[in-house]
A and B are shown apart, each in its own frame.
Chain A
């Protein structure tokens, strides 16, 4: 079946450090891939997405590239800020379905 695996948290970084949160997936066909972010007390909001292989999604300094050969969609940011502290969810929507599969979430804490 379809699934998403993302790295366990929490991830604690100093401000301006480089961030990588790993995400790999299992799905048939060509799924759409997403990163969502959840700030404390709020719902999830879309951070970026990619709908086909080799697409790069980017937003607010975050990037992720859809790698079909490694079935991965790792989230990166070159210089994190305290305001980036949140929980990050990797997700996919498989071809032919309206259902989304979410990873377990990775909590990021950025220290000043």
Chain B
């Protein structure tokens, strides 16, 4: 049963520290998304990649957040320095966005999330 995996599942850190979250997309998926979920803002798209290239990171605070895909099996989201307002659940999702004839296989599969608490 193919799944998106995320590590760590929970992270508690102090303000100013660097935080790195990792995501392993489903094997063969070529599109990876990073979302942030909070009670106040709901689900926000931070960035997404297709074929490892960043397509859109306009939802991400550029001064402290960075997202990369070092290879097709790993996506990372880094916050440096972290702030209390970054406390949220961060989800990674992957999808196979390759066209296959007339039908596009475009369902997103979400990971379990990383719950980040910045004190």
Q: Do A and B come from one complex?
A: yes
Task: Give the distance in Å from the alpha carbon of A10 to the alpha carbon of B42 in the complex.
Answer: 14
Given contacts A32-B106, A51-B104, A105-B42, whether A98 and B113 have CB atoms under 8 Å apart is: no
Q: A102: CB under 8 A from chain B?
A: yes
Q: Does A49 contact B (CB under 8 A)?
A: yes
Number of contact residues on B: which range applies?
20 to 34
Q: A interface, by DSSP: helix, strand, loop or mixed?
A: strand
Residues of B close to A102: CB separation below 8 A: 42-43, 45
The interface bits of chain A over 16-58 (1 if a CB of B lies within 8 angstroms of the residue's CB, else 0) are: 0000000000000000101010000011111001010000000
Interface size bracket, A side: 10 to 19
Tell which of A32, A44, A51 has the most Cβ of chain B within 10 Å: A44
B63 at interface, CB cutoff 8 A: no
The answer on a CB contact under 8 Å between A99 and B106 is: no
Contacts of A34 in B (CB 8 A): 107
Residue B12 at the chain A interface, CB threshold 8 Å: no
Tell me, yes or no, whether A93 is within 8 Å of chain B by CB: yes
Chain A positions within 8 Å of B103 at CB level: 51
Q: Report whether over half of chain B's contact residues are helix, strand or loop; otherwise say mixed.
A: strand
Complex Cα gap A93–B112 (Å): 22
Question: A46: which B residues are within 8 A, CB to CB?
Answer: 107-109
Query: Nearest chain-A residue to B108 (Cβ)?
Result: A100
Residue of A nearest to B110 (CB): A43
Binding site for B on A (CB under 8 A): 32, 34, 36, 42-46, 49, 51, 89, 93, 98-100, 102, 104-105
Known pairs A45-B109, A100-B108, A104-B43 / 15 extra A-B pairs, C-beta < 8 Å: A34-B107, A42-B113, A43-B91, A43-B111, A44-B91, A46-B108, A51-B103, A93-B106, A98-B31, A98-B48, A98-B55, A98-B97, A99-B48, A100-B45, A104-B42
23 pairs from A and B in contact (CB 8 Å cutoff): A32-B104, A34-B107, A36-B110, A42-B113, A43-B91, A43-B110, A43-B111, A43-B112, A43-B113, A44-B91, A44-B110, A46-B108, A46-B109, A98-B31, A98-B48, A98-B55, A98-B106, A99-B45, A100-B33, A100-B45, A102-B42, A102-B45, A105-B42
